Amino acid sequence: MDIRYLPREEIDKTKWNSCIHYAANGNVFGYMWYLDNVAKEWDALVEGDYESVFPLVWKENRWGRKQLVQPPWMRELGLYSIHVLSKPRIKAFLDAIPGAFQKVAIHLNEQNFLPEAEGFRMDPQTNYQLMLQTSYEEIADGFSSAWFSQLGKAEKSNLVPISNLKPERVADFFRKYSPRTADREARSHALLRIMYNVLHRGWGFASGVQDQNGDLVAVNFFIYSHGKVLSLVPVVSPKGKMNGALEMLFHTLIQTHAGRPLLLDLNSDGEDGFVQGMGGQPNSYFKLERMAISKEKRRF
């Protein structure tokens, strides 16, 4: 199997994006424009004439050593291929990860599963999804009583769903109401780049919910790709959370997309119970970590 390491500047953009587009396990995270707007540094493993590709997002630690990392706004990456993702192919790519990356802690996509890979540990993670191809009535049958209760609160509070939000309003709302982290400002800038790139391609839209005073109480940005609509940045204010704003936002999307051959990728681990309340179903992907390697293997 011809697998070679390529620095970012040597990658053929057209061939790369074609592989992501036609891969059976393709997703928006793998496109070159998405990687460029989220990852500061990345290279790749490429099989043949871009039949299979494996992004390697990396950074240097304080000692100048390279390590593979999972950047914000990118739930999973891993191996993408127009071929069957057989265990030998997955193993060959894992073995081809250069030893110079002394630490590997990345997320692979759902079809990259190899339970026994020498030198690696794979831990299952959980994402939630909701099929939208059935009627609205059938989907609503899966809503929990708590979800219906929140929708009732949204109606009584005179909340109103809105569309065509500018990316700046979404990013500002994210900065104001998302959990406080050291890199929140950098995340908001990356979010803006993603949203503008998606809107330029006509692949998505921003939506929100406002109260009777016209103030935003919830926002999200949705991206269409590979038969899915991805929930990228669901954020709700304290007032909106109390009054069912985020439930109304997703409910509006479900109403307008029900009966279409789409999968709603909730992009969530479901720890707070929110996505289960709308009937979201668990789907596994995997965290990959490499065990310690010998000094002899720490080279490209």
Higher pLDDT: 49 or 60? It is: 49
What mean pLDDT comes out for the span 231-238?
A: 98
pLDDT at position 47: 98
Share of the chain above pLDDT 70, in %: 97
* 247 close to 147: Cβ distance less than 8 angstroms: yes
Same domain, 7 and 64: yes
pLDDT band at 294 (very low <50, low <70, confident <90, very high): very low
Query: Domain containing 66 — which CATH number?
Result: 3.40.630.30
- pLDDT tens-place string over residues 271-288: 889 999 999 999 999 999
- Distance CA(53)–CA(96), nearest Å, equals 12
Same domain, 122 and 137: no
What value does the mean pLDDT of the chain take?
94
What mean pLDDT comes out for the span 221-242?
A: 98
Which of 62-71, 111-120, 237-246 is predicted with the least confidence, judged by mean pLDDT? 111-120
- pLDDT tens-place string over residues 158-201: 999 999 899 999 999 999 999 888 899 999 999 999 999 999 99
**Helical H segments across the chain, by residue range:** 13-22, 32-38, 87-96, 136-140, 145-156, 167-177, 184-201, 238-242, 245-257, 274-277
Higher pLDDT: 293 or 194? It is: 194
Whether 87 is in a domain gets the answer: yes
> Can you state the percent helix, strand and coil of the chain, rounding each to 5?
35, 30, 40
Within a 10 A sphere around the Cβ of 41, how many other Cβ atoms? 14
The count of structural domains within the chain is 2
Same domain, 156 and 234: yes
What is the three-class DSSP state of 32? Answer: helix
pLDDT at position 150: 97
Tokens of 133: 């191809």
| Residues sharing a CB contact under 8 Å with residue 241, sequence separation 6 or more, in sequence order | none
User: Rounded to two decimals, what is the model's pTM?
Assistant: 0.94
Within a 10 A sphere around the Cβ of 236, how many other Cβ atoms? 24
Same domain, 206 and 94: no
Type of residue found at 244: G
Same domain, 86 and 177: no
pLDDT at position 45: 98
Same domain, 153 and 196: yes
Share of the chain above pLDDT 90, in %: 86
pLDDT at position 119: 83
pLDDT at position 292: 59
- pLDDT tens-place string over residues 50-101: 999 999 999 988 777 899 999 999 999 999 999 999 999 999 999 999 999 9
- Distance CA(175)–CA(169), nearest Å, equals 10
Same domain, 50 and 93: yes
pLDDT surpassing 80 at residue 33: yes
Between the ranges 99-108, 251-260, 271-280, where is the mean pLDDT highest? 251-260
Q: How many residues does the chain have?
A: 300
Whether 253 is in a domain gets the answer: yes
Same domain, 175 and 236: yes
Of 30, 102, 19, 29, residue with least CA distance to 66: 102
Q: What is the CA radius of gyration of the chain?
A: 20
- Alpha carbon 8 to its chain's center: 21
pLDDT at position 237: 98
* 127 close to 282: Cβ distance less than 8 angstroms: yes
Same domain, 63 and 158: no
Q: Which residue segment(s) compose the domain that 120 sits in?
A: 3-126+284-297
- Distance CA(169)–CA(192), nearest Å, equals 10
Residue with tokens 């979201």: 280
Count of H-run helices and E-run strands, the chain: 10, 14
pLDDT surpassing 90 at residue 105: yes
| Residues sharing a CB contact under 8 Å with residue 220, sequence separation 6 or more, in sequence order | 170, 206, 207, 208, 231, 232, 233, 234, 235, 246, 249, 250
Whether 272 is in a domain gets the answer: no
Q: What are the DSSP calls for 7-24, one per residue?
A: -GGGS-HHHHHHHHHH-T
Same domain, 107 and 155: no
pLDDT band at 300 (very low <50, low <70, confident <90, very high): very low
pLDDT surpassing 50 at residue 236: yes
Could you give phi then psi for residue 191, rounded to 5 degrees?
-60, -45
